Structure 1
Amino acid sequence: MEPKIVTPPPGPRACHVLERDSRVVSQSMAREYPLVLERAKGMNLWDVDGNRYLDFTAGIAVMNMGWNHPEVIKAVQSQAESLTHGAFLDFCSEVPVTFAEKLVKFMPSGIDRVYFSNSGAESVEAAIKLARRATKRKYFISFYGGFHGRTMGALSLTATKVIHRQYFGPFLPVIHAPYENPYRPLNASSPSCGIDVVNYIDEEIFRTEVAPDEVAAIFVEPIQGEGGYVVPPVEFLRQLRELCDMHDILLVCDEIQAGCFRTGSFLACEHSRVVPDIVCMAKAIGGGLPLGVTLASDELMTWPPGSHASTFGGNNLSCIAGLTVLNLMERENAGKIAEMRGRYLMKGLQELYSKYELIGDARGVGLMAAIELVEDRNTKHPAKEKRNAILKSAFEKGVCLLPAGQSVVRFSPPLIISEEEIDIGLSVLDRCFAEVTGS
C-alpha cells in the first residue's frame, strides 16, 4: 500500500502528544522522528493525524511477521482470558514450556535449554552471568561498533556511541577489539579479510591486555546491527570459533537483531556454519511483546536454583505471542521469503549505488540490508548530515527508515514485504537522493 501523507508531520494532534510527552516522560530516548503512532497493520503505520507510512524498520527488527498480525492478536487475547502473569519464577505453566520446546527445534544441535527474560539487554545479562559461573573467569571481549544493550553488564560490552556509556562507569572488565568490516578493513592491504581481527585478538590483546585463560567469553554479533549493518566475511566467525576452542573461551552470539530468519537463516551465525556456546535473542522472538531468551547446552546451563531469575521472565502473554510467531514463520517459510525479498531489495540498492556517488557501499544478507553514505568514495569520509537529510525527506514522504553506524541507512522491514512495496520504498528513496544531491 502506498504511503499517504494528509498532514505534514508532525500534525496538530502529534504536536499535542509530543508536548505532553516532553513534560512527563524521560527524554533519554533518541527518537528519530516526531512520529506519534495510533495503529499499525502489516507493513503500514498510521499516526494520530491520519498519515499512513510504509515501514522499513519493523519497529527495530521486531515485527518480522508484520505489525499486529491477526493470529498473534487472537492468541494473546485468548491467553489473557485465562492467565496473563504465570509467576514463572515460582510456579510452572505450560505455555512457556511449549514455547521453549518449539524454540530449541530451530537451534543448532546442542543448543537445547532456554532461560527467559524480558528484553535483549536482559538476555545478554544472563549470558554474562552464565559465562562467568561456567568458566570461573571474569574478563570478556566484544567489538567496537557492537551493541548489546544498555543495562550495566550489557553496556560494558557495547561500544557504539559514547553517549551510551558517558558517566555510567565503572564497567565490567571488557576489552574491545575491531570488528571485521570488509568496507573499512583493519588492514586494507591484507588479502586475508576475515582473520585479521582474530589474529589481532590472539597476537595483541592476549599478549598485552589479558591472558586468554582469564577470558570467560567473547560476545559477537554475527552481523553488526546498530554499528552499521556490517556483514563480515564468513571466515570471521569460523576463526573466532577456533580461537575460543583453543583457549576454552565461550563464544556468545548476539542474535537479538539478526535472528528469527531476518537474514534467511533462523540464526545469522548459521551462514558461517558456526555453533556458538550461548545464543541471545529478543526483539522478533516476542512478536511485539517483551521477551528475551538466552540459550545454551544442557551441559553449560547447569546453574543451581536461585542463581538467576526474573519476575516476568516466561510471561504467558509474551510466550504465547512468541510461540505463534514461530509457528507463523515456519508455516510461511519466512527464511526463504527473506532470502528472495532480500535479493530483490539488494538489486534495487545496487542500482541506487550506481546512480549516486553519495552511496559508498550497499550490503546486506536477506532483509538485513544497508547503504553507507560517504562524502567521497575514495576517502570514505562518513556523510552523516546528508544521511540524516535523506531519512528526514523519506519520512516526510511517508517511508520510515532508521539510521545505523555513523552514516548508514538500514533496511529491516517486516519479512512479509512484497516486491511492490520494496519498489515503492526505493522510488521514494531515489527522490530523496535526487533532492539531497541536487541531481
Structure 2
Amino acid sequence: MKPSVKLPLPGPKAKALFERDKAVLSTSNARGYPVMAERGQGVWVWDVDGNCFLDLMAGIAVNTTGYAHPKVVQAVSEQAARLQHLCFAVIPSEPQIALAERLSGKLGGGYRVFFGNSGTEGIEAAMKLARYHTRRPFFLAFSGSFHGRSMGALSLTASNSKYRKGFGNLVPGVSHLPYPNPYRHPDGLKLLREGLDSLFQHTVPAEDVAALFVEPIQGEGGYIVPPQGFLRMLREVCDEHGILLVLDEVQTGAGRTGRFLAAEYEGVKPDIVVMAKGLASGYPLSAVIFREELSSWPSGAHGTTFGGNPVSVAAAHATLDLLEAGLMDNAATVGEYLMGKLRMLQGRFPRLGDVRGMGLMIGLEFVADPQTKTPDPALRDKVVQRCYEKGLLVLGAGPSAMRLAPPLILTREEADTAVELLAEALEEVLEPTKA
C-alpha cells in the first residue's frame, strides 16, 4: 500500500472545514498541518478529500496499536455496553483495580497508582504528591523539557518560551538544569553534574528539593537521547539528598522505545513514574505510579471525576495485551531497521545532521552546516511540508528536529515506504552529496 495525495493541500472539503474551525474553535489550537482527518486503519489515515497518508506521528505517540485495532475496538465496545462511567474515585470497579495491579507488576511490585486523563494531569498529581510527602518546596527539571501546559506542569516545562508567554507568575520554586545532548555536548554529563553541584551550593539547598522531574528521552525538546549513565547519575544524586526521582514517561512509555519504560535500559527504578499518551491507544488515560511508602496523602487530598474511565481502562488492558504479545519487540526490531535506513540517508544528505532514537521514537535534526551544527528550523519545516505533500505524516520537535513516532504495528515494508518518501522530500529541498 502507498500514500495517495492530490495537491494542493488542504483539499476543497478540508479547506471549508478549516474555515469553520477558524470561526468557532479556540485560537490557541495550533493548526500548522494541512490535513483534516476523516478515518484511520492500521498505520494509514484518510482525510475528508480522500487523500491517504502513512502515519509516522500516531497522534503524537499516542496510537500505540494503530487505528481501529480489532482487539482494542472489541474491548472498548464491550466495556461501553457494560459500564461507561461511574466516577472511579467514588464507586470503583474491577477493571481499574486489575490495571493498577498490572502496572505495579510492570515495575516489580510495591507501587500504587493514581489514574487521570492526560500526561499533564498526571504531572500535576505527581507534583502535589511529592510536595505533600516530602514537605519540601522546590522542584528540579530540565531545559528543553515538556511536561504539560497547566500551571504546575508549565512551571516544569522549558521547551519553548511561547508556552509561558503571558501566563506568569507560574508555580514558584522550579529550577532548570542542562539536559545532556551527545550531538552537541559530548561532555554533557560532566556539565550536568557541575550544574547540580553549583545549584545546591549557591541557589537551592538540596534538602529543600522535593522532586526532580525528567524525561528519559526528551520529546518536544527534540527527541534527544541522553548518554548512558544519565538516569543512573540522577538516581544516585536523588538518593544522596532524599529527593524523589520522577520519570515523565508520558511519551517514552508503553513500549515506544522497545521496553515498557525507557528507564529499563539503565535499570533505574523511579520513585514516581507518569504514563499517558500510548497507554490506552488513543483513549484518555494517565497513570501516576508511585512507591507504596509515598502514599501518605489522605482520602480526598487529590481526586478526579473522569480519571480511570472504564472504557479507557479497557483500551489500556487491550493495549498491554498486545504489547506483551509482540508489539514491544516489533518496536525494537523495526525501530532498529528504520534507524539504519535513515542513517544511510544521512550519508547522502549531510545537513541531516543527526539521526537518534530508541525503538520507534526517532529524531532527525537538520542543520545549516554539518561542521558547526547550527540548527536550521527553516529547512526542517520545508522537509516536513514536503513529507505531507507526499503523504507522510510527521511532526517537528525542538529547534530543528523532526520526530518519527509511528504506531508500534509498523512493518518493515511500511518503514521502507516512509524512507522512500522522506528521501524524495530531501532530494527536492537539498542537494545530495556526490558519490
Query: Fold match, TM over 0.5?
Result: yes
Q: Secondary structure at the match of 1:379?
A: coil
The equivalent of 1:166 in structure 2 is: 165
2:375/2:399 contact within 8 Å kept: yes
Q: 1:181 to 1:108 in 2, by over 3 A?
A: farther
How far residue 8 of structure 1 moved from its aligned partner, in angstroms, is 3.2
How far residue 108 of structure 1 moved from its aligned partner, in angstroms, is 3.9
Alignment of 1:92-241 (within 5 A): 92-110=92-110, 112-172=111-171, 173-185=173-185, 190=187, 193-201=188-196, 203-241=197-235
2:43/2:407 contact within 8 Å kept: yes
Question: Does 2:426 correspond to 1:416?
Answer: no
Structure 1 residue runs of 5 or longer lacking an equivalent are none
Moved more, 98-107 or 336-345: 98-107
How far residue 32 of structure 1 moved from its aligned partner, in angstroms, is 3.1
The equivalent of 2:52 in structure 1 is: 52
The equivalent of 2:399 in structure 1 is: 406
The equivalent of 2:268 in structure 1 is: 274
Q: Secondary structure at the match of 2:320?
A: helix
How far residue 272 of structure 1 moved from its aligned partner, in angstroms, is 1.1
- Aligned AA (2:94): E
CA distance in 1, matches of 2:190, 2:237: 10
How far residue 438 of structure 1 moved from its aligned partner, in angstroms, is 4.0
What are the superposed Cα offsets for residues 249-282 of structure 1, whole Å, 9 maximum, x if unpaired?
0000000000011111100111111111000000
CA distance in 1, matches of 2:203, 2:305: 38
1:7/1:50 contact within 8 Å kept: no
1:194/1:234 contact within 8 Å kept: no
The equivalent of 1:67 in structure 2 is: 67
What are the superposed Cα offsets for residues 413-436 of structure 1, whole Å, 9 maximum, x if unpaired?
111111111111111111111111
Q: TM-score, normalised by structure 1?
A: 0.96
What are the superposed Cα offsets for residues 376-409 of structure 1, whole Å, 9 maximum, x if unpaired?
1121111100100000001011000011011001
The equivalent of 1:26 in structure 2 is: 26
- Aligned AA (1:211): P
Question: Does 2:79 correspond to 1:84?
Answer: no
Question: Does 2:316 correspond to 1:316?
Answer: no
- Aligned AA (2:398): G
- Aligned AA (1:62): V
The equivalent of 1:4 in structure 2 is: 4
The equivalent of 2:350 in structure 1 is: 357
- Aligned AA (1:95): P
Alignment of 1:338-357 (within 5 A): 338-357=331-350
Moved more, 251-260 or 32-41: 32-41
The equivalent of 2:253 in structure 1 is: 259
How far residue 15 of structure 1 moved from its aligned partner, in angstroms, is 0.6
How far residue 209 of structure 1 moved from its aligned partner, in angstroms, is 1.4
How far residue 301 of structure 1 moved from its aligned partner, in angstroms, is 2.0
Q: Secondary structure at the match of 1:338?
A: helix
What are the superposed Cα offsets for residues 109-152 of structure 1, whole Å, 9 maximum, x if unpaired?
43x21101000000000000000011000100000000000011
How far residue 195 of structure 1 moved from its aligned partner, in angstroms, is 4.0
Q: Secondary structure at the match of 2:35?
A: coil
CA distance in 2, matches of 1:269, 1:392: 33
CA distance in 2, matches of 1:8, 1:198: 51
CA distance in 1, matches of 2:380, 2:6: 25
How far residue 194 of structure 1 moved from its aligned partner, in angstroms, is 2.8
CA distance in 2, matches of 1:253, 1:241: 11
CA distance in 1, matches of 2:32, 2:404: 15
1:195/1:235 contact within 8 Å kept: no
How far residue 360 of structure 1 moved from its aligned partner, in angstroms, is 1.0
